[in-house]
Structure 1
């Protein structure tokens, strides 16, 4: 426990000091003090706010608004013994947010303590402030804003309108004090109507995640943007001690390169999804296509959203939906190229309800007989630069700069990588709309490009003042930034 802590930790410094003590009563007292200072990690839960399926009984009767998936998930968390946080991600759901107000655990006790806390995963300052004000007016405090890169992340990807991570964090840094002041006023006023008096609002943390890959990047983000924490996700998929990745998928991840990670339309939710070409779920999808059997059996029905052909929603990754949709486009007698584009779009969807669970089932030997064991996995693009299976000790030492797992690995700087992902995204979006580029879309793409240009100007200023970096590294960053700028300028929007 103590040896995993960063050297800057007071606990780690105390531990190192204790190790130098002679073996006597003083050492035992010191050890007990340290043991009593150890803290358990929190068991936080995540709810994708807009994945909120309506539910029906066996007779087809609607069970009511309080029995939708997201609300039932929240209720389950509240009824648990956990004293931790619920992470609300994937957009704002007013129905779910209002439901928070019905549970006393989200309000402070007589000592100002929150038994259950709220963390918002956000993509920019404006949306964070809007959501936090909505909640504050109900007496719900946001204990943490978790800023996530729009594209340089794992899981579903929520691209911004060209707003890059650096400028987003800069806006939080500049405006956070003003925001906290306004939120505190709204919060205290709402609590007073509920008979709760609070002298000051609880602490509000700010963290960031998405594409961090080196100790230097990690330290800079924490210090320059005055963050409380950073999040590392995808690299830990290669750490078997702490994540549930089956052996076959683990081997594929360890030997993958940049071309194996791609942004896809595979999710039935209709949201961009970071996919892995070597996954067994992707292999199974292609095998089913080759056999003329596209789509998946729909057993869990968590992502049923489409009512195009049925009264009750079905999933766009299901065999039922894909067969119905393919028959529809066949009846339209489309030109071959257009038909093929639509066919590929329909059949690209994969089952995530089973696919994202399969790896855990396989690793722990709990998959049922005849259960689908094809594995879907959604690492961020940053995993391409980690190419071994690591121990927890190695990964933690890498994060804190005691070990460099990426030594001699050619990897773009964090901000430049995200910038390039956004340029690729813009170029793909432009290409997909070339045939029908109306004024509204043209304005949107032009604004998107302009926002990226503003981001590049910001990074030029930032790199010029980046502390403790050798001159040749800064020069390399400027070269990469210039290349990105040239690629963006060459992207012509008609």
Structure 2
């Protein structure tokens, strides 16, 4: 397994905000992730960069057979070419100058052998081994990975011009996978948002996910997971098909950006502890299945000189300073960390339009919230007063709620129609509003139901608009902007350079205030908030008492473990005191919330 240069990566951020991040950061050796959900956005970005770099461009029309896969392949091939072009330019620059090559090495981790070798070189320009060191450093340079993300839940069927559903090969998920598989990039596919057997089975049709004659895998598989059991089940499922998981990417259920897939009250420290203690199982349970597959299905079987490497474990969600990163890397033995939302404030890394950037710079913790805007029906991290929110409110005032649904990637509801439609669409919302108004319920119940319907937003279009505005493809007044930062962004209040952010990550500087609560403390509060919301939404307390009690008990165990962590020696910049204070406050609050709920149960019975 090739060791990554950096101990962090930049995760996917919406459909648009990291759409060209590899072009921006991969030449400096930094891994980042592109969403390939929106192939129409991908096509517009490809056209833009083809024009910028004077490259040939032929439009792949929306009506093209297998157009979705073709658009994704064409864009990834372009990204690969542009990354290699810029990387080669940096690699060929001289040492001993204030240039991009110096920046490449200066941004490496403080503990990096390459960085220390570079510092030795520039610190002794007249030493006898200058040429040898220069050559060795240049040969050791490599570009970052152009990784892609597919949300397993976003796998609707495509339809012909006659309205007939196409075969499963052309489903959104399978077509996106095929687009990546057919591209020339050698990188990783991140599968997120749940287990999709159809999509997982389709992986087995592409040779790039298997070992070649030398034992190398061109395209690796990364699973984004929220618990150990799920990781093991999915890993074994793929292993039976001879597919190896390169990395398990563990994410906080709530303290993250984008969609929030809450666990049953399992706090991140408790989850990481389990992964650390059972890590060996992710190899021992998988290895026999992989070897058995090759022996039964591949000529020559599993070669004796092939090495089955242990899968990497990485973590992301709410990390805010070097002290917290060190806790994750050293105490929990993670291989790397993911830093998402802070990079929204780094124009060198992501595409955030100016109005939204200003909104993020001024956002306080109370402006960042878990919303119900996603048509997927999954809680979605959001910030108040986005362009998207204003646009939707204006349409409601005009009596035209919802969106015309120009892309349809999140169409899944068949409540009123034979073919799925999106719950954020005008079509659905007008039908649902009419149903609610004609229903025999109280005025308060109607208002509550209407509010939930009208909250849904057009994420397909609006999450990509920030990139189109930033790149000058669309005017701001024609492109309502949505964004999905995690609550951690409240502590990053200005724009940062790429070098500033990497220096912050590696502890060479600190750009957030010391009083910022620990990431574990923030997650704790979010989970108590979430449980309170579940209790308030409970229509049948007697039926829900068992599952909610389990949730509460898991939370309490997690809090107790957080207390243990808080009594250990803090890493520099790590605010462990905030954990102790938060445990005391949230434990009291949790007990109070649950006492009231138990009273409701008694009354109901």
User: What interval of TM-score do these two structures reach, taking the shorter chain for normalisation?
Assistant: over 0.9
| Residue-by-residue CA offset, 1:247-272 (whole Å, 9 max, x unaligned) | 11101100110111110110011111
Tell me if 1:478 matches 2:583.
no
Q: Aligned to 1:127, what secondary structure does the other structure show?
A: helix
2:208 corresponds to 1:105: yes
- Alpha-carbon RMSD: 1.7
Q: Quick check: 1:459 aligned with 2:565?
A: no
On the 8 A contact 1:354/1:372 being kept in 2, the answer is no
| TM-score normalised according to structure 1 size | 0.96
Match of 1:436 among 530, 535, 540: 540
| Distance in 2 (alpha carbons) for counterparts of 1:335 and 1:468 | 55
Aligned length: 489
Taking the aligned partners of 2:357 and 2:159, their CA distance within structure 1 comes to 39
Task: Return the offset for 1:367.
Answer: 2.4
Are 2:367 and 1:263 equivalent residues in the alignment? no
Change in Cα spacing, 1:269 to 1:468, as seen in structure 2 (3 Å) is closer
Native 8 Å contact 1:188 1:198 kept in 2: no
Question: How many angstroms apart in 2 are the aligned matches of 1:467 and 1:251?
Answer: 34
Tell me by how many angstroms 1:3 deviates.
0.6
CA-CA distance at 1:133 after TM superposition: 0.6
| 2:324 equivalent in structure 1 | 217
Q: Are residue 359 (structure 1) and residue 471 (structure 2) matched?
A: no
The answer to whether the aligner puts 1:48 opposite 2:151 as a matched pair is yes
Which residue does the alignment assign to 1:157? 260
* Separation in structure 2 between the aligned mates of residue 128 and residue 215 of structure 1, nearest angstrom: 27
CA distance in 1, matches of 2:227, 2:356: 33
Report Cα offsets for 1:15-56 as digits up to 9, x if no partner. 000012234773233212111111100101000012101011
Structure 1: give runs of 5+ residues left out of the alignment: none
User: 1:7 maps to what in 2?
Assistant: 110
Question: Alpha-carbon deviation of 1:475?
Answer: 4.4
Inter-CA distance 91–474: structure 2 relative to 1 (3 Å threshold): closer
Asked whether the 8 Å contact 1:112–1:202 carries over to 2, the reply is no
Kept in 2, the 8 Å contact 1:145–1:207? The answer is yes
Do the aligned residues in 1 keep the contact of 2:352 with 2:467 (CA within 8 Å)?
yes
Higher mean Cα deviation, 457-466 or 9-18? 457-466
Match of 1:403 in 2: 509
Could you tell me how far apart the structure 2 residues matched to 1:198 and 1:484 are? 54
How far is 1:476 from its partner? 4.5
* Distance in 2, Cα, partners of 1:104 & 1:357: 32
Please, which of 333, 344, 347 is the counterpart of residue 226 of structure 1? Answer: 333
Inter-partner Cα distance in structure 1 for 2:377 and 2:209:
32
**Pairwise mapping of residues 326-405 of structure 1 onto structure 2 (< 5 A)?**
326-367=433-474, 372-405=478-511
Asked whether the 8 Å contact 2:374–2:457 carries over to 1, the reply is: yes
Offset of residue 371 of structure 1: 8.8
Contact 1:47 1:87 in 2 (8 A): yes
Other structure's SS at 1:120 match: strand
Q: Unpaired segments of 5 or more residues in structure 2? A: 1-103, 599-605
Cross-structure match for 2:591: 489
8 Å CA contact 2:566, 2:577 repeated in 1: no
1:242 correspondence with 2:242: no
From 294, 303, 309, the equivalent of 1:202 is: 309
Q: Secondary structure at the match of 2:285?
A: helix
Partner of 1:417: 522
Deviates more, 1:293-302 or 1:444-453: 293-302
2:383 pairs, out of 267, 276, 294, with 276
* Partner deviation per Cα, 1:454-473 (whole Å, 9 max, x = no partner): 10111122222345569x95
- CA distance in 2 between partners of 1:281 and 1:198 (Å): 54
| Match runs of 1:281-292 below 5 Å | 281-292=388-399
Q: 1:87 aligns with which of 168, 173, 190?
A: 190
CA shift at 1:112, angstroms?
1.4
Contact 1:188 1:201 in 2 (8 A): no
Contact 1:294–1:347, Cα closer than 8 Å, also in 2: yes
Q: Taking structure 2 as the reference length, what is the TM-score of the superposition? A: 0.79
Q: 1:120 maps to what in 2?
A: 223
